[in-house]
Chain A
């Protein structure tokens, strides 16, 4: 189990490096899918299966699909992947940085530290993270109403930004 968690955490860092080295947006979106998928499995390994499901549905199924469609705006004849030297230099630099920072800490890492789960990994009538999220509807109802208001405001902001025509600083030519 410790080896599985080690592999997942390394996969997460490699995925974020593949996004942060700024290749062409097609490949960066692919790296982000990898980070989200591996992050979901890390969450499941710590007992948060509901939050992992929410991340998969909303993040991967909602937001990243929209980003993938917007990647059509970045179409170019020769997209740069991680083999290109300008991107590979960033990848190697970030890898060196992570390994260097990790070398500060891995002296004190022992076997039991990788998956420190005690109560939340077992079955129960109401799973822990689902019960916590349910609080959003009962005691946190006011914040829920505020968030719905914020989402409506964002919709109006987006519609106003993409209206173009002759209002604002960004105009459609």
Chain B
């Protein structure tokens, strides 16, 4: 595994672990999701550059557009949560408890 490949893979996996082991704020979970999207963008761009397959450069651009859509939907959920429950803490989302 080349160093660059190792770095982007570990960036993605660390973001995923940060999302899985979230603590208090919904916003920090959304930021970990954004870190995963960033690692994916850099990975797609580096693959299209390293393999000299420049026709694949459209993939990171479209991925960035869709990740912006996803971020805005996540932030709309955060705003709706904060307006309903008063805080942005994950403990407030306890209607479905086991």
Seen from chain A, the residues whose Cβ lies within 8 Å of a Cβ on chain B are 5-6, 9, 12-13, 16-17, 19-25, 28-29, 32, 35-36, 39, 42-43, 46-48, 51, 54-55, 58-59, 62-64, 66-67, 70-71, 73-74, 86, 90, 94, 97-98, 101-102, 105-106, 109, 113-114, 116, 119-120, 128-129, 131-133, 135-136, 140, 143, 147, 150-151, 154, 157-158, 161-162, 164, 170-173
B28 close to A170 (CB less than 8 A)? no
Query: Digit string of B62-98 for contact with A (CB within 8 Å is 1, else 0)?
Result: 1011111101110111111111101010000000000
Residues of B close to A43: CB separation below 8 A? 42, 45-46, 49
Cβ contacts under 8 Å, B41 to chain A: 39, 55, 59
Is the pair B73, A20 in contact by a Cβ cutoff of 8 Å?
no
List 20 other contacts, CB 8 Å, given A59-B41, A90-B21, A173-B84.
Answer: A19-B35, A21-B18, A22-B22, A22-B28, A28-B27, A42-B46, A46-B46, A47-B49, A48-B46, A55-B45, A59-B38, A74-B28, A97-B14, A98-B10, A105-B1, A132-B48, A132-B58, A161-B73, A161-B79, A162-B76
Chain A hits for B18, CB < 8 A: 19-22
Interface residues on B, range: 35 or more
Interface residues of B (CB under 8 A from A): 1-4, 6-7, 10-11, 14-15, 17-19, 21-25, 27-32, 34-35, 38-39, 41-42, 45-46, 48-50, 52, 54-58, 60-62, 64-69, 71-73, 75-84, 86, 88
* A58 and B75 in contact, given A132-B56, A161-B80 (Cβ under 8 angstroms): no
Offer 14 A-B interface pairs, CB within 8 angstroms, sorted by A.
A9-B7, A13-B11, A20-B15, A20-B32, A48-B49, A51-B49, A54-B64, A73-B27, A73-B82, A98-B10, A128-B49, A143-B62, A150-B69, A164-B84
B19 to chain A, nearest CB (A): 8
CB pair A9–B4 under 8 Å, yes or no, is: yes
Residues of A with C-beta under 8 A to B6: 101-102, 105
Q: Return the contact of A140 from the options B1, B24, B32, B58 (Cβ within 8 A).
A: B58
